Amino acid sequence: MNEPSEVKCTKTNFSLIIWRVCNVFMSLFFALASYVQINDPDAVLWMVAYAIPANLCLLIAIKPHVTDCFSETLLWRRIAKLHVLISSAVVSMMGWTLYKERITNIFQQEEGREFSGLMLILVWLLLCQHSGCSIGALRLSVAVAITIFPFVAWLYYYINKELRTSWPPHCKTAL
């Protein structure tokens, strides 16, 4: 009779390990995204926008239950919700601008890349909400896919230099 609970415990621990690894990688990605903003004309704004989720992800990686429903660390939830609120407002404005100007290839425009970065932050922070209560298979699958995507996209743009030809100079020299 002890075997099913041991299997469940192992499965839960394995899920928790994957969740923590995803948060480590997203923390690294957001920290790297914050760093490459150094050449941007509005660097401070975007560095803070990426540094906050980098630190929130690092906290989840260190202490996964920081997002618990009944956690004593209300600070994590309040910072995350405030960042989601602000990011949602900015994403809405940027999305409307991109739609109004009929920009189709958003990665070739700086506003499109900023929009995509904020969307990634928004989706990841929403995914992290209450993850300390239960990770779940769906959340974990989505987390793995989202974790892989920015690194693959960044590598793709780094390898294919012709995709970066129309970028402004401050975007070409960041890394």
**CB burial string 80-105: b at 16+ within 10 A, e below:** beebbeebeebbeebbeebeeeeeee
Specify the pLDDT at position 172.
60
Asked if the model's pLDDT at residue 6 lies above 60, the reply is no
The count of domains in the chain is: 1
Say what the pTM is: 0.82
Nearest to 119 by CA among 131, 104, 133, 106: 106
Of 83, 78, 75, 24, which is closest to residue 53 (Cα–Cα)?
83
The mean pLDDT of 131-139, rounded to a whole number, is: 82
| CA 45/CA 43 separation, integer angstroms | 6
Cβ 23 vs Cβ 60: under 8 Å: yes
Mean pLDDT within 121-126: 95
- Give residue 169's pLDDT: 64
| Token reading at 125 | 């922070």
Residue type at 19 in one-letter notation = W
Q: Which of 26-35, 47-56, 162-171 has the lowest mean pLDDT?
A: 162-171
Token readout for 104 is 């189709």
pLDDT exceeds cutoff 60 at 36: yes
9 has pLDDT over 50: no
The whole-number pLDDT of residue 168 equals 62
Confidence at residue 2, expressed as pLDDT on a 0 to 100 scale: 44
- Encoded tokens for 28: 């690294």
- Per-residue pLDDT band for 171 (boundaries 50, 70, 90) equals low
Find the range with the poorest average confidence among 39-43, 47-51, 57-61, 143-147: 39-43
pLDDT in tens, 71-108: 656 888 899 999 999 999 999 999 998 899 888 877 77
The range of the structural domain enclosing residue 146 comes to 2-172
So what's the pLDDT on residue 4? 42
